[in-house]
């Protein structure tokens, strides 16, 4: 965990006071809605279909139990008893009254939680691997670097009114769980041949209406130069990013229009001028931030303790264990993923009671620490293996032990037409319907790893382009239709999916997805071949033939 000090707390209190003043000026009419909008957005406040929505940052996906409990309190006191975890390591509350917002924010600020820069045309909440610091094989804890960027970018005087939103993601493990290739800037921490720590820098990835995979602009940036290099990127973007057309304002368009090489040249020239300046980090500065991350005091334990072996005789526990428990870097410990995708519920929703349960369990079994991943699930990164049976029993009792992580019913979906004013189609009911079709766990285990991603419109909040199966809601003659793509992925081999064929109606979607999955089961080279690999081997044609013949 990163520990806020009085500096961070003073800043947060001042930010809340500023927002309270802005809300006051809006209510008195001193600020027009046009003037107020960017100010409220930069504090995470949207005006949605039904009400104001509050989006709260979970920096690098890490929460402590007090913070999660406070979110439960906000859900209960100011919302309708639940919150929605998103693909950006945020949580959203959909039903908060404007007059009560400053109060809710003050309650959150007391535990160091806020909505700063979760929206607006600024550098957004920096995201990373939800297993950071716990997974084996990491080059470093990426959260240290995400925290350095959080500090640097918070209320940056030069980069608060950028052409468009700006998202940075970091990974430091061989497996990319942060989808860095579909971010404005993707950073892959690694070591060079001399053993020095540095970043591979990708720029210009992103989804939305013009999806791109990020382009490599620098294979190795010494870690201490991170801030000056990011500042150079931001400065080039701020000056040359397009402002004439909101749909062409993201950095990906600039990089695409002038080319990655030209772009990189401009950045390098700017960087040369500032790299030895105030932003150059010293080892002491980095060590200081590193020192503010507290790690659990792990006990010396052996892998596979007798308690675990005994519990594994229970088939339900064993299923959950196979699905939700992952290898930890410390022997005798494990990383646990908590599925927020029980069949029939909106993906990513958690009730206030469930948040409290998870907070309590984190205190009891996981050193008080909780993580949020972009798949809209929670995670307890540090659990002793001997405690897994008791943890599972408690999760199960709270409806939080659905063993479907990475399975076909572990669907990522945006709010779609149920909450979002930009939507063309429903997303949550589509996810629920598909999950129901695959509710048989033996069947979904047989299918293996398969990611379905659903967005209610072209903005791609549900990451549909990078779903193994992507579903995009479009509108045709006032009716909801859905385009299906296959073969996308958001990991270290990220790529965009390929369109399967013409869009289909709402009613046809679940059947079509079943057909796609059945086709895979027939065509795969063997049970070891994942869906995504079968699509890579065969392309979408054989799927198209079978699926559209049937409809």
The least distance separating ligand HEM from the CB of residue 369, rounded to whole angstroms, comes to 23
Burial of 454-478, coded b for 16+ CB within 10 Å and e otherwise, reads: bbbbbbbbbbbbbbbbbbbbeeeee
415, 417, 420, 421 alpha-carbon torsion, rounded to 10°: 170
Q: Which does 38 bind (CB under 5 to 8 A by kind): another protein, ligand SF4, ligand HEM, none?
A: another protein
Q: Which is nearer to ligand SF4, 16 or 340 (CB)?
A: 340
CA distances from 106 to 29, 65, 385, 527 (A): 23, 18, 38, 52
Give yes or no for a contact between 130 and 372, defined as CB atoms under 8 angstroms apart.
yes
Q: Which is nearer to another protein, 50 or 243 (CB)?
A: 243
H/E element, 549: helix 541-549
Q: Which of residues 200-239 bind ligand HEM (CB under 6 A)?
A: 206-208
Q: Show the binding pattern over residues 427-456: x = contacts ligand SF4 (CB under 6 A), - = does not.
A: x---------------------------xx
The least distance separating ligand SF4 from the CB of residue 40, rounded to whole angstroms, comes to 17
H/E element, 178: none
The least distance separating another protein from the CB of residue 64, rounded to whole angstroms, comes to 8
Q: Which of residues 30-59 bind another protein (CB under 8 A)?
A: 30, 35, 38-39
Which token pair is 302? 């052996």
Angle between helices 283-291 and 142-153 (to 10 degrees): 100
Q: Which does 206 bind (CB under 5 to 8 A by kind): ligand SF4, ligand HEM, another protein, none?
A: ligand HEM
Q: How far apart are CA 71 and CA 400, in angstroms?
A: 18
Q: According to CB under 6 A, which one of 36, 46, 152, 263 is a site residue for ligand HEM?
A: 46
The least distance separating ligand HEM from the CB of residue 463, rounded to whole angstroms, comes to 6
Angle between helices 142-153 and 226-240 (to 10 degrees): 50
Number of Cβ within a 10 Å radius of residue 511: 16
Q: How far apart are CA 433 and CA 410, in angstroms?
A: 12
Q: Show the binding pattern over residues 139-178: x = contacts another protein (CB under 8 A), - = does not.
A: ---------x--xxxxxxxxxxxx----------------
Q: Among candidates 64, 154, 31, which has minimal Cα distance to 368? A: 64
SS3 37: helix
- Strands 168-171 and 127-128, by their bridges, are parallel
Task: Count Cα neighbours of 174 within 13 Å in the Cβ-side half-sphere.
Answer: 2
Q: Which does 456 bind (CB under 5 to 8 A by kind): another protein, ligand SF4, ligand HEM, none?
A: ligand SF4
Q: Show the binding pattern over residues 117-136: x = contacts another protein (CB under 8 A), - = does not.
A: ----x---------------
Q: Which is nearer to another protein, 72 or 395 (CB)?
A: 72
Number of Cβ within a 10 Å radius of residue 28: 8
Q: Which of residues 234-293 bind ligand HEM (CB under 6 A)?
A: 250
Q: How far apart are CA 340 and CA 348, in angstroms?
A: 5
SS3 251: helix
Q: Which is nearer to ligand SF4, 74 or 423 (CB)?
A: 423
Which token pair is 389? 């049976």
Q: How far apart are CA 375 and CA 453, in angstroms?
A: 9
Give yes or no for a contact between 473 and 481, defined as CB atoms under 8 angstroms apart.
yes
Q: According to CB under 6 A, which one of 311, 335, 400, 420 is a site residue for ligand HEM?
A: 420
Q: Which of residues 331-360 bind ligand HEM (CB under 6 A)?
A: none
Q: According to CB under 6 A, which one of 26, 69, 88, 464 is a site residue for ligand HEM?
A: 88
Q: Which is nearer to ligand HEM, 165 or 333 (CB)?
A: 165
Q: According to CB under 6 A, which one of 64, 86, 153, 337 is a site residue for ligand HEM?
A: 86
Give yes or no for a contact between 104 and 96, defined as CB atoms under 8 angstroms apart.
yes
CA distances from 227 to 94, 132, 280 (A): 35, 21, 7
Q: Show the binding pattern over residues 402-421: x = contacts ligand SF4 (CB under 6 A), - = does not.
A: ------------xxx---x-
Q: Which does 423 bind (CB under 5 to 8 A by kind): another protein, ligand SF4, ligand HEM, none?
A: ligand SF4
The least distance separating another protein from the CB of residue 233, rounded to whole angstroms, comes to 12
Q: How far apart are CA 149 and CA 482, in angstroms?
A: 38
460 binds ligand HEM (CB under 6 A): yes
475 binds another protein (CB under 8 A): no
195 binds another protein (CB under 8 A): no
419 binds ligand HEM (CB under 6 A): yes
436 binds another protein (CB under 8 A): no
Q: How far apart are CA 65 and CA 46, in angstroms?
A: 26
Judged by the rule CB under 8 A, the positions of this chain that interact with another protein are 3-7, 9-11, 14, 17-18, 22, 30, 35, 38-39, 66, 70, 110-111, 121, 148, 151-162, 235, 238-239, 243, 273, 277-279, 281, 284-285, 288-289, 291-292, 294
Judged by the rule CB under 6 A, the positions of this chain that interact with ligand HEM are 46, 48, 53, 86-88, 92, 164-165, 182, 206-208, 250, 414-415, 419-420, 422, 459-461, 463
Judged by the rule CB under 6 A, the positions of this chain that interact with ligand SF4 are 414-416, 420, 422-423, 427, 455-457, 459-462
């Amino acid at each position: 965990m990163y520990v806020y000090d009085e500096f961070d707390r003073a800043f947060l209190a001042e930010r809340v006071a500023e927002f309270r003043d802005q809300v006051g000026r809006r209510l008195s009419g001193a600020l027009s809605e046009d003037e107020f909008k960017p100010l409220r957005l930069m504090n995470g406040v949207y005006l949605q279909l039904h009400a104001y929505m509050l989006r709260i940052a979970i920096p690098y996906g890490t929460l402590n139990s007090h913070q999660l409990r406070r979110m439960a309190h906000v859900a209960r006191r100011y919302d309708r008893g639940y919150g929605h975890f998103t693909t950006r390591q945020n949580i959203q509350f959909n039903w908060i009254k404007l007059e009560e917002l400053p109060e809710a924010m003050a309650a959150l600020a007391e535990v160091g939680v806020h909505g700063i820069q979760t929206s607006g045309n600024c550098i957004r909440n920096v995201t990373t691997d939800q297993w950071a610091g716990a997974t084996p094989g990491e080059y470093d804890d990426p959260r240290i670097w995400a925290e350095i960027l959080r500090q640097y970018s918070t209320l940056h005087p030069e980069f608060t009114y950028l052409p468009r939103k700006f998202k940075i993601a970091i990974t430091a493990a061989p497996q990319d769980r942060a989808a860095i290739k579909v971010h404005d800037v993707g950073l892959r921490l690694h070591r060079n041949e001399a053993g020095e720590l540095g970043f591979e820098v990708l720029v210009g990835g992103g989804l939305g209406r013009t999806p791109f995979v990020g382009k490599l602009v620098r294979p190795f940036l010494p870690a201490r130069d991170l801030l000056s290099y990011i500042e150079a990127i931001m400065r080039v973007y701020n000056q040359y990013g397009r402002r004439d057309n909101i749909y062409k304002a993201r950095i990906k368009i600039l990089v695409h229009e002038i080319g990655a090489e030209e772009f990189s040249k401009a950045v390098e020239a700017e960087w040369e001028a500032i790299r030895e300046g105030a932003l150059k980090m010293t080892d002491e500065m980095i060590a200081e931030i590193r020192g503010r991350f507290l790690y659990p005091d792990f006990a010396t334990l052996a892998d596979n303790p007798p308690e675990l072996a005994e519990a594994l005789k229970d088939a339900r526990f064993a299923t959950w264990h196979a699905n939700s428990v992952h290898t930890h870097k410390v022997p005798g410990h494990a990383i646990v993923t908590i599925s927020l995708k029980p069949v029939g519920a909106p993906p990513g929703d958690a009730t206030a009671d469930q948040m409290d349960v998870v907070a309590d369990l984190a205190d009891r079994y996981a050193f008080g620490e909780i993580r949020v991943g972009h798949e809209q699930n929670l995670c307890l990164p540090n659990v002793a293996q001997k405690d897994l049976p008791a943890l599972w029993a408690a999760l199960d009792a709270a409806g939080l032990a659905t063993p479907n992580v990475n399975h076909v019913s572990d669907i990522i979906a945006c709010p779609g037409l149920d909450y979002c004013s930009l939507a063309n189609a429903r997303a949550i009911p589509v996810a629920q319907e598909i999950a129901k079709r695959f509710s048989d766990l033996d069947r979904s285990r047989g299918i293996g790893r398969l990611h379905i991603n659903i967005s209610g419109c072209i903005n791609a909040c549900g990451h549909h382009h990078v779903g193994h199966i992507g579903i995009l809601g479009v509108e045709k003659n006032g009716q909801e239709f859905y385009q299906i793509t296959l073969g996308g992925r958001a990991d270290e081999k990220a790529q965009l999916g390929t369109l399967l064929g013409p869009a289909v109606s709402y009613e046809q979607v679940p059947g079509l997805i079943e057909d796609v999955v059945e086709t895979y089961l027939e065509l795969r080279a063997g049970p070891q071949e994942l869906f995504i690999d079968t699509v890579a081997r065969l392309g979408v044609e054989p799927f198209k033939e079978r699926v559209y013949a049937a409809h």
